[in-house]
Structure 1
């Protein structure tokens, strides 16, 4: 049904364009005819043909809206229609035809500008893959609709084709182009069990993947859902303009006859000249340019952000970013990378250069048997060490242990360390928010190892940028105070809330709104969802939980916190362009009204100036499509 409606609208739009250009041809033809009667007829035909869109939309929207709201809510096109037929009434057929041609042409340019912005975003829709190669139990495959795939199904992905849905790689390796999802231009090298996303492209050999998400629940599906919301969620400025537009038109319709009477009885212009200037007044006071000050620019801004891996549910949120005075960050997965890395290795005096490699290999060979995040970090750190085939015992809450040369080795938490030097160092490390693990030899600590979930790349640069913009930064974390304070100090965050529960995060956001004004929250977890909802602008990370993405107002698809700087710059530029447009649009109206009062404005010039200002406003808004 929706598809049929779109096709119907497309056909209507095409017909109206044909009528417009047919009317333009008639108008041009009138120049080559000397008979005044035929000139009159052809100009009237031009008004009817080229103005069919303006006339139909003006009266239809006026009638529908007035009935719905139980009052008189005229569309701006009504002013142009009255002016055009007023021109016919005073026998200015050429001016009336020219008015309709330029006004309708400007209207089509505005439609094109908005459609272009929407098309830039809606290209994402074409990434949906309709069919997939489902691998059957006997090893063969059959083509099925992607909607029929179930979690756990095995799917074959051929070289050069789009991946049908989200899943994990079953083969050993693959190279995938993910730029349409993450914005990252370089292909990603994947290994077994890595995530792969629907809509991305297989650049390597054929591979098998396992489905982990149903078609409606993929990253791409969520992006498309975000995109669909941008079409109706307009900025506050656009809402205000839409609200005052019928009021403005009513005022103009009331002032027009007053303008005529003033011309006849106050300024002695005479009946015909007063009617003529009243028609010019209707033209120049039409808020066409004002109506176009925001929406084309806002849609272009959303399109620009989308092409750079930043998705917003509506232009009002993009606009609000410029008003934000405080930005609150979750720690894990937002400020930090979400996984520990090795920070320090401290050896006991008994370990020298001759036996250090033995102990390093021992640590590597112990930890390679575990899947704990700390073990994964230690394995990565010691990955170049020699592997020792050990008999490893794992005990939950205790750690890993083994025997080598009749000595018991154990890796675990620091406990009853008698060495004062080691004890002092453990205390210092823990105050820095680091996790400490110890290698014991027969219960004697011989190596201290610290790990930490460190900050993401470019986060300090982002915080510095916010400070220059006079925006306060806040860290809200469930971690212990030492850890939160240390990370905040490393990146330069102004204020820290530690040991915070999910419901307390929401309360803190409300307090920040009271203290600072407009507030932004960035997070990625389920525990961040209440705060993301409460903030004036909530932004989630692309790798975050489904709930966080669903409730947020925007998403950084690459999980790249530095995108905040670009978002702020786009929002600031959008605000500047909208203000420029509004000042210019109203300035042109004021100028034309004054010129008309002094008799220095004829209808053709008024039309060119007025509609030209509308085109310039639209083109100025389209500057938002350009990358900063």
Structure 2
């Protein structure tokens, strides 16, 4: 345990050194203020000042102020990256700094200032698009139980802080209480909602010797329990710890531009001095002309359009999706969505409705069916049975029978009506059932359904099957992903038969059932290792570690606060079709970005050739730059237009 923890911390340290320097400079509001000063200085010099010396002074001020964070990050990140990678790792920032300095060196202060203004503005937009989401787990911590009813030696109970509990302590849990910690039931029985831990949609019946988890919600029963784990070792505590650790280790996949930067800038920085030195011998130019053309080359190679290739397009894509109920916390997540190889779904509330629904009914006597349904509705209405809502939503009540209903552990709801004894719940020995009922029971159970029986005077006369049914959008989304060659996996805390029944209906490739929260993130790791870039979609506390572990985590908008907090994107209103739409937008985004990159590089190549042929000066170069930049931005803005339905 200690060794793995040490290794984990070491890896976190390496990761932080390797990745966190990018865009993590915290200068407060200073860069924004200085940029504003730079813009004003540039406009003053351009529009108001006619004195050349004073005009150039304002342009220099614009370069120094608007380019403050560009220059600082260009120098510091180049040094840092070079030290870490042990090879020269320049970035576009350093190239832009040299380009502006080169323009000033040959007397074109205005062009140097314009280059810096354009690039610095694009840089601010990129930081805005990426977002640097600060994931917090404070809301999750608030969900942790704080008090427990500790049973004293005299049998009385005392409210104590959960942190003071020790293994072996005995606690009392009343109806509606949050289970204080992990333990085992000593006496009593109840139904517990464990969805926050296991993802199981159906409340679980619990009796003596059954295990219970801290933070789950007790139903209508009262029970006593014995503490079996220290508060820091509970399942809930492990979820909190894993979310925290995984967040600290989370890396941000580099954008396409970032991947191109070091190579591109290195090539430019090598070519420019070689060009200046070789030009007099190759082209017969004077040294003055060679230096001038070298500076023009440096400016021509400055990637203004390249810098604008991704950010406007990404912002447009994010805006497009936001209007349609999909919120991304960073541009890189949207960009990388197009490259995914696997998608893992939580079952309950993501692929399914998140609540049980009646799917089938059978009664031995059709003539008495309506009478029995009326009885069932009245029995459920008088109780807090876990499946009551599903039955009451399916069947309407016409007559109030004024029943006296009790909930007996192990039997279910019990009442007497018109001299007959009725029981609504489970059947212990299904071998005593009729052949017809046994066959239906076997088929329904195989389909992952929960079956409730109506027993009249020890004879089973009816049965109702319920399950958490797939939501209407799920099937279409799975079909879309399969058409894209993307592998699908369902991860659920439900029993295997229940998970496989839903997966079969939706044609999901793989099912991982009976999964506890601490294992969900390991399944994601395996998918990442064996398949590739992996997305996780979930809505519960139990999904949080997996959402953070995944390359891109999607939370359903009706889910818990913690799932939304730690996810990289949120699908509002639980509309799963928005996920396939987001994937389509991401694919189009990547197409547009590469179009922009190739176009930008073509313009650079064209300007370089024209410069060598002596057909271009700095003015033409800047004009071409600005024109190509405008076209690149307009191409990116096409992503604001809604995609047509496929």
The alignment's TM-score, normalised by the length of structure 2, stands at 0.68
Question: Aligned ranges for residues 555-594 of structure 1 at < 5 Å?
Answer: 555-594=570-609
- Alpha-carbon distance in structure 2 between the residues aligned to 1:117 and 1:532: 21
Residues in 2 aligned to 1:522 and 1:394: alpha-carbon distance in whole angstroms? 37
The residue matched to 2:414 in structure 1 has which SS?
A: strand
Aligned: 1:389 with 2:402: yes
- Superposition deviation, residue 116 in structure 1: 7.8
Aligned to 1:429: 444
Q: Higher mean Cα deviation, 461-470 or 72-81?
A: 72-81
Tell me the residue number matched to 1:240. 259
Q: Does 1:334 align with 2:350?
A: yes
CA displacement at 1:457 relative to structure 2 = 1.9
Which of 419, 426, 439 aligns to 1:406? It is: 419
> What is the CA–CA distance in structure 2 between the aligned matches of 1:570 and 1:19, rounded to whole Å?
39
Report Cα offsets for 1:144-170 as digits up to 9, x if no partner. xxxxxxxxxxxxxxxxxxxxxxxxxxx
* 5+ residue gaps, structure 1: 31-37, 89-95, 123-224
Structure 2: runs of 5+ lacking an equivalent: 1-25, 134-243
CA distance in 2, matches of 1:519, 1:60: 35
Change (3 A) 1:78 1:499: closer
Alignment of 1:261 with 2:277, yes or no, is yes
Q: Deviations over 1:475-496 (max 9, x none)?
A: 2333333322221122221223
1:472 to 477, 487, 494: 487
- Distance (Å, rounded) in 1 between the aligned partners of 2:577 and 2:296: 51
DSSP-derived class of the 2:573 partner: coil
Most deviating of 520-529 and 403-412:
520-529
C-alpha separation between the residues in 2 aligned to 1:539 and 1:112?
A: 26
Which position in structure 2 is the counterpart of 1:82? 101
**1:26-80 Cα deviation digits (max 9, x unpaired):** 47xx5xxxxxxx6x54763564355454565565445555676788967233233
Question: Aligned with 1:75: secondary structure?
Answer: helix
Report the equivalent of 1:19.
41
Q: Give 1:120-269 correspondences, 5 Å limit.
A: 235-241=254-260, 244=262, 248-249=264-265, 251-269=267-285
Deviation at 1:413, TM superposition (A): 1.6
Note if contact 2:37-2:62 (Cα within 8 Å) is conserved in structure 1: no
Please list the CA deviations of residues 380-425 of structure 1 after superposition, one character each: whole Å capped at 9, or x if unmatched: 1122432221111221221112112211122112344442222222
Aligned to 1:523: 538
Post-superposition shift, 1:520? 2.0
SS state at 2:387 partner: helix
Following the alignment from structure 2 to structure 1, what is the Cα–Cα distance between the partners of residues 382 and 336? Answer: 50
Contact 1:102 1:608 in 2 (8 A): no
Q: Deviations over 1:288-345 (max 9, x none)?
A: 3323333443344344444433334433332232121121222222211111111112
Distance in 1 separating the partners of 2:260 and 2:485: 30
How far apart, CA to CA, are the structure 1 residues paired with 2:522 and 2:34? 51
Measure, in 2, the Cα distance between the counterparts of 1:278 and 1:239.
25
Equivalent pairs, count: 495
Q: 1:255 to 1:54 in 2, by over 3 A?
A: farther
In the alignment, what sits opposite 2:118? 106
Correspondence 1:270 to 2:286? yes
Counterparts of residues 257-406 of structure 1 (less than 5 Å): 257-349=273-365, 351-352=366-367, 355-406=368-419
Secondary structure at the aligned position of 2:56 is classed as helix
Change (3 A) 1:561 1:373: farther
Structure 1 CA distance for aligned equivalents of residues 595 and 319 of structure 2: 20
Alpha carbons 2:348, 2:468 under 8 Å: kept: yes
Residue 101 of structure 1 deviates from its aligned partner by 5.9
Any idea what the Cα deviations from partners look like across 1:114-151, whole Å, max 9, x if unmatched?
A: 588589x99xxxxxxxxxxxxxxxxxxxxxxxxxxxxx
| Equivalent pair of 1:436/1:449 in contact (CA under 8 Å) | yes
* Contact 1:233-1:313 at 8 Å conserved across structures: no
Q: Taking structure 1 as reference, are residues 241 and 401 closer, same or farther at Cα in structure 2, changes over 3 Å only?
A: same
Cα 1:85–1:9, aligned 2, differ >3 Å: closer, same or farther? closer
- Whether the 8 Å CA contact 2:320–2:640 is kept in 1: the answer is yes
Q: Say which is worse superposed, 53-62 or 570-579, in terms of deviation.
A: 53-62
Q: What is residue 537 of structure 1 aligned with on the other side?
A: 552
Q: Which moved more, 1:537-546 or 1:49-58?
A: 49-58
The Cα shift of 1:102 comes to 4.3
Q: Structure 1 pair 364/617, CA: closer, same or farther in 2 (3 Å)?
A: same
Q: Measure the CA separation in 1 of the matches of 2:309 and 2:473.
A: 35
Aligned to 1:620: 635
Paired with 1:5 and 1:283, the residues of 2 have a C-alpha distance of 28
Report matched runs for 1:481-520 at 5 Å.
Answer: 481-520=496-535
C-alpha separation between the residues in 2 aligned to 1:18 and 1:9?
14
- What are the Cα deviations for residues 172-193 of structure 1, in whole angstroms up to 9, with x where unaligned? xxxxxxxxxxxxxxxxxxxxxx
Distance 1:55 1:330 in 2: 46
Q: Greater CA deviation, 602-611 or 77-86? A: 77-86
Q: Is the 8 A contact 1:481 1:498 kept in 2?
A: yes
Q: Say whether the 8 Å CA contact 2:100–2:115 is kept in structure 1.
A: no
Cα separation, 2, equivalents of 1:62 and 1:333: 46
Q: In structure 2, what is the Cα distance between the partners aligned to 1:606 and 1:515? A: 48
CA distance in 1, matches of 2:113, 2:414: 86
SS at match of 1:373: coil
The verdict on how the C-alpha distance between 1:504 and 1:314 changes in structure 2, with shifts beyond 3 A counting, is: same
Contact 2:41–2:58 (8 Å) recurs in 1: no
Q: 1:356 to 1:63 in 2, by over 3 A?
A: closer
Residue 44 in 1 paired to residue 61 in 2? no
Distance in 1, matches of 2:307 and 2:359, equals 57
Please report how far the alpha carbon of residue 458 of structure 1 lies from its aligned counterpart in structure 2 after TM superposition.
0.8
**Matched residues in 1 for 2:566 and 2:114: separation?**
44
Change (3 A) 1:235 1:624: farther
Question: What per-residue deviation string (whole Å, max 9, x for no partner) do you get for residues 79-127 of structure 1?
Answer: 3323322332xxxxxxx255246435534763675588589x99xxxxx
Matched residues in 2 for 1:118 and 1:525: separation? Answer: 25
Q: CA separation in 1, counterparts of 2:311 and 2:254?
A: 8
SS of residue in 1 equivalent to 2:581: helix
CA shift for structure 1 position 378: 0.8
Q: State how far apart, in whole Å, the 2-side matches of 1:12 and 1:49 are.
A: 10
SS in 2 for 1:558: helix
